[in-house]
Amino acid sequence: MHLQRVQVPDFRVLKDVDITFEHDFNPRVFPLGSQNGGGKSTLLQLIFTLLHCSTNPERLPALKNLLSGFSLREGEDERILAIIDVWDGEKIVQLKFFVCSDLSVDLILDSLKYEDNSDTGYYNFIHKLSEIETIRKEISEFPNQEQVLNNIVEQLEIRNRDISSSNKLTGREERRLSRLGIDLSSIDLDLLNIETLEKEARLQLSTRHLEFVFKEKILTDKIDEILEELGKDSIEYITIYSPEDSFSKARILLCKIRNIDIGISGEFLNKLSNKIFLAAPPTQVFLFLSREIKKSLFTNKNDYQFDLISINSTLLGLFTYDFLSTDILIKSFANARDKDFKEALKTGEYGKNYKKLLKDLDFLMHDKQINLTDDFSSLTFKLNRFGNSVELYPEDLSHGELKRLSIYVWLKYYNIEDAIVLMDEVDLALHPDWQYQIASDLVEWEPSNQYILATHSYELCQALTPSHVKVLEPKLTERISD
């Protein structure tokens, strides 16, 4: 996979962006520069989120969060978010992501000669999507509602065994039943009969549940019918979202796919979602979070770390430059050990995966050696100098060394190959010599990948030809030699 071209008309700080990343360039490493606040991080996160999240329901919240500030302008019914061209090895596939209103969907369906048998002449696709989300939420609450009813009945039975207690519903119990949607008007509450109350309440609860299930079936069939019609125009539905957290102004994100058969477009998008990766500093990841969490970053009460962990567990292609990716490194050693053991079971001789990993890491760390403790629970670092081995502690290792090590292990452990790898601020904490070298490092570590590196480093840019370097306007001021 190779990102060929990205066009972003207007998204946050990005204005009239049109950048080409030539697939026939060698090496396939493209520094991306701009001034501070020029939109490098925003562009990488937009590309990553659109390509990584669009086909996976678990990842859609991150996409919706990113879109929360993007809506239609007054008088607009359709607005392009981004146009992304991807080289799949044989041809360029174009993905046009756009946000639209119900009217825009109506016009598309009308152009396809779709007949809905609607008396109004409107298809209300977005309204149907909003309604089915509400219905599905109600259906998902049914087990909890049953449990609440069970608790109420249990409390009534306990109180009924106490002859000194009242045999009437308390005000709190009436309110709890009312919140469950139970109509008490048909029940004689003056003389409480628990069995009658329970039977009537369960009947009402079950009836309402079946009504929601029936409505869901009708809506699902209609939505699937519309989606099939949109597919005839090579359009994939991505998600519904609300710019202002209100379904009254809900919009939908669609993707028009060109140069690929619509029958396999879903398969293509799924494959692409597993071939796009983003490495970024932890501080940049807040763009994936909800508006409420982002606002809380400026207060002394926030759940940023909790949400960051949650995002990292969902967005499998996201990697943050932490102090050291200890968990990945330990897993890499364990993985190499397991491979060697499997080879021993097959051939009678242990493999060389563990030794090779040690050799690669020793070469990467120069005069330092890294290994695991006997129980595979922690790492050890040692410095070999003049025949002596000295144990090292975290403060003895530079941030740059640990960052370079983390990137290497991330690429190797997850077998990131033939992929689009977006890297934000990759040069931070690296010596100028290592900034210059990182481009060749990445190609050496995995040459089949395309690397797009958001950077402020002149050294990194000078390691490649000027044609490789892409710049977001306004352009960076050139460094003038004395």
Query: Which residues have a Cβ under 8 Å from the Cβ of 196 and sit 6 or more positions away?
Result: 187
The whole-angstrom separation of Cα 181 and Cα 178 is 5
Backbone angles phi, psi at 318, to 5 degrees: -95, 135
Predicted local distance difference test score (pLDDT) of residue 427: 85
Predicted local distance difference test score (pLDDT) of residue 165: 59
Same domain for 308 and 423: yes
Same domain for 313 and 330: no
Are the C-beta atoms of 453 and 30 separated by less than 8 Å? yes
Same domain for 54 and 150: no
Same domain for 371 and 276: no
Predicted local distance difference test score (pLDDT) of residue 365: 72
The whole-angstrom separation of Cα 333 and Cα 346 is 20
Domain boundary among 357, 387, 413: 413
Is 123 within a domain? Answer: no
Strand partners, 372: 379
Same domain for 437 and 293: yes
The whole-angstrom separation of Cα 228 and Cα 169 is 52
Same domain for 448 and 305: yes
Are the C-beta atoms of 204 and 181 separated by less than 8 Å? yes
Same domain for 107 and 21: yes
Nearest by Cα to 63 from 295, 302, 290: 290
Is 299 within a domain? Answer: yes
Characterize 335-352 residue by residue with b for buried, 16 or more Cβ atoms within 10 angstroms of its Cβ, and e for exposed.
bbbebbeeeeeeeeebbe
Is 481 within a domain? Answer: yes
3-state secondary structure of 193: coil
Same domain for 246 and 193: no
Predicted local distance difference test score (pLDDT) of residue 7: 96
Characterize 3-42 residue by residue with b for buried, 16 or more Cβ atoms within 10 angstroms of its Cβ, and e for exposed.
bbbbbbeebeebeebebebebeeebbbbbbbbeeebbbbb
Q: In a structure prediction context, what are the per-residue pLDDT tens digits for the chain, which is 482 residues long?
A: 899 999 999 998 889 999 999 988 989 999 998 877 778 888 999 999 999 999 888 888 888 888 887 888 888 888 999 999 999 888 999 999 999 888 888 888 888 877 765 555 567 888 888 888 889 988 998 999 889 888 888 887 777 776 655 567 777 878 888 888 888 777 765 556 778 888 888 888 899 899 999 999 999 988 888 888 888 888 899 998 887 644 447 888 999 999 888 778 888 899 999 999 999 887 777 777 776 666 666 665 556 566 666 666 788 888 888 656 677 778 888 888 888 889 888 888 888 888 888 888 877 777 777 777 777 777 777 777 666 777 776 666 677 777 888 888 888 888 899 999 999 988 887 788 888 888 899 999 899 999 999 988 888 988 999 999 998 876 444 444 44
Predicted local distance difference test score (pLDDT) of residue 482: 40
Are the C-beta atoms of 265 and 236 separated by less than 8 Å? yes
Domain boundary among 397, 413, 429: 413
Q: Which string of DSSP letters, residue by residue, matches 60-101?
A: HHHHHHHHTT--PPTT-SEEEEEEEEEE-SSSEEEEEEEEE-
The whole-angstrom separation of Cα 88 and Cα 76 is 33
Domain boundary among 389, 413, 437: 413
Is 223 within a domain? Answer: no
Burial class (CB in 10 A: 0-12, 13-18, 19+), 454: buried
Predicted local distance difference test score (pLDDT) of residue 1: 87
Same domain for 342 and 457: no
Is 126 within a domain? Answer: no
For 400, the domain range is 324-413
Same domain for 423 and 408: no
Predicted local distance difference test score (pLDDT) of residue 105: 86
Is 132 within a domain? Answer: no
Alpha helices for 240-378 (secondary structure H):
265-273, 291-296, 304-314, 326-347, 353-364
The whole-angstrom separation of Cα 59 and Cα 67 is 13
Same domain for 459 and 401: no
CATH number at residue 464: 3.40.50
3-state secondary structure of 16: strand
Same domain for 262 and 285: yes
Task: Give how many domains the chain has, as a whole number.
Answer: 3
Are the C-beta atoms of 112 and 233 separated by less than 8 Å? yes
Is 209 within a domain? Answer: yes
